[in-house]
Amino acid sequence: MPETDVRAPDGGRNRHHVPSPDALRADALATLLRGLAADATQDALFAATLEHVAAATASDGAAILLYRESGAGVPRLGRVIASLTGGELAVALLGEQASPDAACPAAWCDPESRRPLLLGPGRDDDGFTTDAGAPRACGVLVPVTGAGELLGALCLCREGEQPFTPEQIEWAEAFAVDMGLALQQRARLRAADHHREVLAAVHRLARRLNRAPTAEAIAQIAVEESAAALGTGMAALHLFDATQQHLILAAETGLPLGAVPHAAQVAPDTTPCAAAAAERDLVIVENLTDDPRWARGAEIATRCPECRAVWSIPLIGEQDDLLGTLSLFLTEPRAPGEADTALFRLFAHQVAVALERAVLADRTRDLYRASVASLVAAVDAKDPYTYNHSWRVAAYSRRIAEALALPPAEVEAIELAGLLHDVGKIGIPDHVLQKAGKLDPDEWTMVQRHPDLGARILADNPALAAIVPLVRHHHERYDGRGYPDGLVGEQIPLGAAIVGLADAFETMLSDRPYRQAMPWHEALAEVRRCRGTHFVPRVVDALFAALERGELEQVREERPPTAASFALPRMIGIEARAFGLLKRISAEVSSGVDIDLFLRRLIDILQSEFPDAVCDILVRNPERRYLTLVTSEPEHPHLRLVAGTYVLEEDRGIAGWVARHGVSQNVPDTSRDPRYVVRGRHPMRSELAVPMIVDARCTGVINLESPHPAAFSPADQQVLELIATYVAQAVEAAHLGERLRSQRDLDPLTGLVTHYVFCQRLEQEIQTARETKSPLSIAIVDVDRLQAINNAHGHAEGDRALQRLATILLGQVRTGDTVARYGSDEFALLLPRTAPWTLKARMEEINQAVLEAGRTDRLPSISWGLASFPLDGTRGPQLLGHADAALRAAKRSRPRIRSSG
C-alpha cells in the first residue's frame, strides 16, 4: 500500500507514515458500515470512525457535533461525540460552540454558505468566534448535511497554529458526505423501527379491543396500551355522563394512589381532561404546577408530584357523540412530538369506535332483555297456574346442560330457550289453557301449535335465531311421536331435548287445573320410566347427575331471576357491529355519489372497522370473466392492467374463487392455500373474502387481507356477510343511477353533452368568470336546411350529417371547452376565458372546415349567433337569449355569417 506524508513540509513535527487518505477514507467508511449493520449506538458508531479521520488528516483531535431542529428553525446542538484520543482538545477548541443548546454557526443558516470554517483563538471567520481562552491550537469545522438539511459538523484540530492544508480540508469535506449519508441511513433505520413499533402497537390495540366485551374492558385496554406505546407509564380514561355532564373515571394505570380519588369524577372546566371534552380537541399541559387554568390540576400535581404533565384527548364517536377522554400523565414536563401526537390521535379514534360499538351493543342487549321480559310476563299472565313456570324450566335446563359439560355459550342459549319455550302460548285462548277437563280434538290441535307459533315469533328477532329450533322442537319425543314435526332420536336438537325434559319435569311438580302436583319421588320415577321413549336417554342421565350433585332441589327454593340476568347470544355484538356499519354505508348511498366514489368511501368505512387490514372491493365483469379492483393501495404489480384499472381474473386468487362459487372464504394462513395470489408488493398472511349477492348472482367480492395469520374471526365474517347483500344492492342501484345519468347527460346520436348539461356548465363557468374577472363566450350553431336532407335522402343520412358536424366542432375547440347537442338541429359551444372577437374568428374557421368537408360529404351549411360575458349578459338565460337573437338575425340576412361580436 503506498504511503504519504499528510503534513505540510514545514510543520515542525516528526513525519508519520500512514496509509493514503483514500485508503483511510475507505477504512473509515467500512467502520461506519459495520457499525450501522450492527446497530451500534451513535457514540460507538462515530468514536471509532473519528480515529481514522484524525489519522487521515494528521489531526490531534476530532469530534462530531450533532444538531437538532429547534422551534425557530435554527439547528441547535444536540450532542458532541469526540474521538477516543485527542477529543478533549477538539471540545476545548470549540468552546461555546460545544456548550449545551448552542446554535449552529450563523454562516451555516443559509444552505448556500455552508463551507468549512477555520478555528483558532481569536479567529473570526464568517461570524464564528472561538473562545479566546482556548488552548493554542487550530482547527477546521466542516458541515455535515443530508438531503439539504444541516445534520451536524465534523471538527478537526491540532496543537499549535499550523493550519490544515487544502487537501486535508477537501478530504474532510468528502468524508463529511459519508457521515451525512450514514446519519441519514441511521435515521431511516430508526424511523423504520419506530414505524414497526407503531404498527405493532396499533395492531395489538385493535385485536384486544375487538375481543373486549364491555366498555369497562375497553377502557382498561385503552389505558394499558396507550401508556405503553407512548412511554408515559400513567394513563386514565373517563367516560362522559351526559345526564350529569361529568366525566367519570372508568380505568387507570400507573396513577399514584393519591391521584385516583381526585380523578374519579371531573366537572367541566376544572382539569385538562374536562377542557379536552369541552374543546373536543387535544389539550397539552407541559407543566401542571405552572399552568393557572386548572386549579384542581395544580392541586393534583402538588399532592402527586409524579404527575407533572398531561396530554388529554376527547373520544368522539362516528356519530360525533362525546364518549369520554383519554389522558396520559408524565413525570416530567414534556410536549408530544409530531409522531406521538399522530399515534395518540389514532389510538383515541380506535378506542372511540370500540366504545361506541360497546355502547350500541349494551343498548341493543337492554332492548332484547326488555323484549324477553315482556314475552315471559305475557306468557305467565296467560295462566296463573303456570306462574314462574318459565324461569324454573330455564333453571332446570341450565343444570342439565351443565351436567352434559356443554360450552358456556350453548348453556346460555339453552337457558334462554327454556325461559321462552312457551312464548307461543300467547296465541292460545285463555279458556283452553285454563280448562280443567280434558281437551277436545280441536283444542288439543290448538295447543300443539304453540311450539311452531313460538318459533315464528322469535324468528323475527335475529339475536334470538339460535334458540328458534330449540323452542320449535321442545315437544318432540325420542320415539318420534312428538310434535310438531315428529322428529326421531338424534334428529331432535340436543338443546330442544333438554328444554323438553325440563318442561315436563317442572310440569309434573306443579299444580294444574286438571290435576295436582306430583310428589318429588314420583316425578323422578316417571322421568326414569320414560327414558328412551319420551325423553333422550343421555339427557335423562344428565338430569339424574345434576340431582346427585344436589343442584335440582334448590331450584324450587330460589327466587325467580329477572330477564336481564339471562345472557343473550353472542350474535348481539355482531348485529350491533353490522348495524353500525350499515348506518354509515346507507349515509353514503343516500348522498348519491357516483359508484367509484361510493366504493372508495366504503373501503374507508371497512378499514376503520378493521384497522389492521387492507380492504378491496372487486366488482365482477362476467362478460370478460375478470374482477375490477377498487382499492386504496396505489400499486398491484402482480395484477394485470386493463384500461388503466387493475383486474383479477376469475380463475385466480381466493377472491376469484369466491366470485365464481358465491361462498365466503376465511383463510387463516394464505401460505398454505394454493389459490392465494399476491396482489400488492408483499404477501399477506390471512384473507377474508365475502361475496356480494343480488338475485342469486355474485356481483362482486368484499375482500380483507392482513399481514398477520388468523386475523379474521368468525364474528368478522358474519359481520361482513350481514352487510354484503346490502352493499351489493347499493352497487346495483349505483350502476342503475350511473346509466340513467349517462342517458341524461350524453346525446346518444352524437356523444355530445345534452342541453341540460350545457346549461349547468354555463352557470358554473359564469361563476368562475365572475370570480376571476375573465371573459367567457358562447355560440349557438344552427344546421341549415337539415329537414331537406331528411326528406331527400332519409333520416339516416341526416343523422350522419349531424355526427360529422359534431366531429368537426369537437376538432376545433380546446380541452376544457364544451360542445353540446343543443336541439334537434342545433349545437352550442361554451368557451371559457375567450373574448368575443376570438370566438368570432374561431367560428369562421369552423365554417371553413364545414365547407371543406361538404365538398366530399353531404353536409349542410351552418349559421350561428354569439354572446359573451359580461358584455351581453351576466346570467345564463341572458347570454343564451342574446346568442339566439343573433342567430335568428343571421338566418334572416345574407350572408349568413352574423354575430354579436
Return the beta strands (E) in 585-742 as ranges: 614-621, 626-631, 640-642, 645-649, 665-667, 686-694, 697-706
Neighbours of 542 (CB within 10 A): 21
Q: Which residues of 828-866 are buried (b: 16+ CB within 10 A; e: fewer)?
A: bbbbbbbbbeebbebbeebbeebeebeeeeebbebbbbb
Asked whether 153 and 180 are in contact (CB, 8 A), the reply is no
The CA distance from 323 to 239, in Å, is 6
The CA distance from 565 to 420, in Å, is 14
Q: H/E/C letters for each residue in 317-344?
A: CCCCCEEEEEEEEECCCCCCCHHHHHHH
* Secondary structure (3-state) at 405: coil
Neighbours of 342 (CB within 10 A): 12
The CA distance from 486 to 497, in Å, is 13
Cβ neighbors of 80 (< 8 A, separation 6 or more) are 63, 64, 65, 66, 91, 94, 98
Q: What is the pLDDT of residue 567?
A: 46
Nearest partner of 691 among 715, 716, 656, judged by Cα: 656
Burial class of 688 by CB neighbour count within 10 A (0 to 12, 13 to 18, 19+): buried
* Secondary structure (3-state) at 311: strand
Nearest partner of 610 among 686, 693, 663, judged by Cα: 686
| Residue-wise pLDDT tens digits, 350-368 | 898 888 888 777 666 655 5
pLDDT < 50 positions in the chain: 1-16, 124-130, 562-572, 589-593, 736-737, 740-741, 896-901
The CA distance from 788 to 707, in Å, is 70
| Residue-wise pLDDT tens digits, 656-671 | 999 888 899 999 999 9
Q: What is the pLDDT of residue 291?
A: 66
| Residue-wise pLDDT tens digits, 255-277 | 877 667 767 777 766 678 888 88
Place of cell 349557438: 780
Q: What is the pLDDT of residue 106?
A: 83
Cβ neighbors of 543 (< 8 A, separation 6 or more) are 396, 399, 400, 403, 501, 505, 527, 552
Q: What is the pLDDT of residue 730?
A: 61
Residue 340 C-alpha cell reads as 406521538
Q: What is the pLDDT of residue 564?
A: 44
Residue 780 C-alpha cell reads as 349557438
* Secondary structure (3-state) at 432: helix
Reported as type and span, the H/E element at residue 64 is strand 61-69
Q: What is the pLDDT of residue 532?
A: 93
Nearest partner of 658 among 675, 639, 638, 670, judged by Cα: 675
Q: What is the pLDDT of residue 779?
A: 95
The CA distance from 264 to 243, in Å, is 17
Q: What is the pLDDT of residue 387?
A: 57
Q: What is the pLDDT of residue 416?
A: 87
The CA distance from 418 to 400, in Å, is 11
Note the helical H segments in 746-835. 755-772, 786-793, 795-811
Reported as type and span, the H/E element at residue 655 is helix 653-661
The CA distance from 272 to 879, in Å, is 59
